[in-house]
């Protein structure tokens, strides 16, 4: 991925902030997730590419290195620069280690601090879609969802170690998480440090890795999650379910689950925010003379008194018969629009009465 633009991979500008980068990553990760493209090697590579780009651009230090040098590895040495071609700077570890060698650690901390991020790391946030019936969105509901994600390995309880195996200092780095080498240069001895590849910079390792997760502390599986959807959610609402995202690494906290809400339309009611709208067909005679009708609401039937001479399109408000607000539980109103029903066919008696009414008018 050395020749590819990481910003272009995520589809963001070089001035994008952390939130924009995270949002772009989420959308692309959901689009190219291997579970949606089983057996598609191209999709797998695309998914890996997206994750690699995000791992660099979401880390301030790595992003700064990438913006400066075009990679996260820092300068690639000075071979070929006048007078220095006879010395090996290929593993000098970047400017941080060069300054450390001569000034006692003035720019120290890059390799160890980045490796420490892998220990007890928080799990990723994940997204899922949920479809609700109209009434479920109004009154709230509890739903069971099947989510495929990185979950804590039950065999090792998230430690990465096989049962009965101890966590010990890494033999390669003596528990430091990094390996230091000393090289002779024209400037004298130069010390460089790199992340220990054996323990991935953790400094600790299990005597025997877990046979199920192979020491990663997590396994990918489908997990049943019970979610309580609050009353009043609407189309486009997003619900955050705390700590129901992917499990953390080596005992780190879990990420969160974000649910994107889609609400099915109702055959009888129309909703705008916390307000509910419906229509009622009223025979013309009752519109003229007045009557009492019974209408359906979200909370059952209720009666409305219709005065005489009610016109087409008249709206009656039923206070407190709408949808509850999520923040304070206060209910909106229900508005009933009157449609005056004119008969398509008249009986002989009806025709006679309307003719008399016409003469009277």
The whole-angstrom separation of Cα 178 and Cα 280 is 76
Residues 6+ apart with CB under 8 A from 149: 126, 220, 221, 223, 245, 246, 247
Q: Average model confidence (pLDDT) for the chain?
A: 82
In sign, the C-alpha dihedral spanning 228, 230, 233, 239 is negative
Residue 142 predicted with pLDDT over 90: yes
**pLDDT for the residue numbered 29:** 83
The whole-angstrom separation of Cα 195 and Cα 233 is 48
Query: Looking at residues 166-194, what average pLDDT do you find?
Result: 82
Q: Please report, to the nearest 10 degrees, the dihedral formed by the alpha carbons of residues 152, 153, 158, 161 taken in order.
A: -160
Residue 205 predicted with pLDDT over 90: no
pTM: 0.57
**pLDDT for the residue numbered 344:** 84
Is 296 domain-assigned?
Answer: yes
**pLDDT for the residue numbered 71:** 63
| Residue of 274, 277, 278, 276 lying closest to 331 (CA atoms) | 274
Cα–Cα distances (Å) from 248 to 22, 27, 166, 217, 243, in that order, read 18, 21, 20, 9, 10
Is 200 domain-assigned?
Answer: no
Query: How large a percentage of the chain has pLDDT more than 90?
Result: 43
- Summarised one tens digit per residue, pLDDT across range 239-262 is 999 999 999 988 889 999 999 999
Give how many domains the chain has, as a whole number.
Answer: 2
Phi, psi for residue 183 in degrees, rounded to 5:
-125, 150
**pLDDT for the residue numbered 5:** 86
The whole-angstrom separation of Cα 276 and Cα 39 is 47
Is 13 domain-assigned?
Answer: yes
Is 21 domain-assigned?
Answer: yes
The whole-angstrom separation of Cα 75 and Cα 78 is 8
- Domain span at residue 52 reads 1-74
Cα–Cα distances (Å) from 10 to 163, 246, 252, 289, 301, in that order, read 40, 21, 26, 67, 53
Conformational region of residue 40, where left means phi above 0, alpha means psi within -120 to 50, and beta covers everything else: beta
Domain boundary among 40, 59, 74: 74
Domain boundary among 26, 44, 74: 74
The whole-angstrom separation of Cα 32 and Cα 84 is 46
Is 114 domain-assigned?
Answer: no
Residue 76 predicted with pLDDT over 50: no
pLDDT, greater one: 43 or 143: 143
Is 39 domain-assigned?
Answer: yes
Is beta strand 257-263 parallel, antiparallel or unpaired with respect to 126-132?
Answer: parallel
- Summarised one tens digit per residue, pLDDT across range 224-239 is 999 999 999 999 999 9
Bridge partners of 301? 296
| Residue of 85, 88, 109 lying closest to 97 (CA atoms) | 109
Is beta strand 270-272 parallel, antiparallel or unpaired with respect to 275-283?
Answer: antiparallel
Domain boundary among 74, 106, 133: 74
Residue 87 predicted with pLDDT over 70: no
Q: In CATH, what number is assigned to the domain containing residue 304?
A: 2.60.260.20
Lowest mean pLDDT among 59-73, 95-109, 117-131: 95-109
Residue 1 confidence class, pLDDT cut points 50, 70, 90: low
Q: How many CA atoms lie within 13 A of 127 on its CB side?
A: 16
- Summarised one tens digit per residue, pLDDT across range 279-327 is 999 999 999 999 999 999 999 999 999 999 999 999 999 999 999 999 8
| Residue of 22, 7, 9 lying closest to 67 (CA atoms) | 7
Q: In CATH, what number is assigned to the domain containing residue 60?
A: 1.10.287.110
Residue 89 confidence class, pLDDT cut points 50, 70, 90: very low
- Summarised one tens digit per residue, pLDDT across range 150-179 is 999 999 998 889 988 888 888 888 888 888
| Residue of 118, 59, 54 lying closest to 249 (CA atoms) | 118
Is 343 domain-assigned?
Answer: yes
């Amino acid at each position: 991925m050395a020749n590819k633009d990481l910003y272009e991979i995520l589809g963001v500008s070089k001035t994008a902030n952390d939130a924009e980068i995270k949002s772009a990553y989420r959308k692309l990760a959901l689009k190219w997730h291997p579970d949606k493209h089983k057996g598609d090697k191209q999709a797998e590579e695309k998914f890996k590419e997206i994750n690699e780009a995000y791992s660099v651009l979401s880390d301030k230090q790595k992003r700064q290195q990438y913006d400066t040098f075009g990679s996260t590895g820092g300068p690639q040495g000075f071979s070929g620069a006048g007078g220095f071609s006879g010395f090996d700077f290929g593993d000098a570890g970047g400017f941080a280690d060069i300054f450390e060698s001569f000034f006692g650690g003035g720019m120290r901390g890059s390799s160890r601090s980045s490796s420490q991020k892998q220990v007890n790391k928080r799990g990723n946030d994940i997204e899922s879609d949920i479809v609700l019936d109209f009434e479920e969105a109004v009154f709230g509901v509890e739903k069971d969802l099947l989510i495929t994600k990185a979950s804590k390995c039950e065999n090792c309880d998230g430690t990465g170690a096989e049962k009965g195996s101890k966590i010990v200092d890494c033999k390669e780095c003596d528990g430091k998480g990094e390996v230091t080498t000393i090289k002779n240069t024209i400037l004298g001895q130069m010390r460089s440090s790199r992340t220990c590849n054996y323990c991935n910079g953790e400094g600790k390792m299990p005597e025997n890795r877990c046979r199920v997760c192979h020491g990663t502390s997590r396994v990918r599986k489908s997990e049943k999650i019970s979610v309580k959807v609050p009353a009043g959610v609407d189309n486009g609402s997003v619900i955050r379910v705390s700590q129901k995202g992917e499990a953390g690494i080596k005992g780190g906290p879990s990420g969160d689950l974000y649910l994107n809400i889609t609400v099915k339309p109702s055959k009888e009611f129309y909703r705008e925010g916390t307000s509910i709208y419906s229509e009622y067909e009223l025979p013309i005679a009752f519109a003229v003379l007045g009557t009492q009708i019974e209408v359906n609401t979200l909370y059952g039937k209720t009666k409305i008194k219709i005065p005489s001479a009610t016109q087409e399109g008249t709206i009656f408000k039923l206070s407190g018969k709408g949808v509850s607000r999520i923040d304070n539980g206060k209910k909106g109103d229900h508005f009933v629009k009157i449609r005056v029903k004119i008969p398509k066919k008249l009986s002989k008696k009806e025709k006679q009465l309307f003719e008399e009414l016409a003469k009277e008018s």
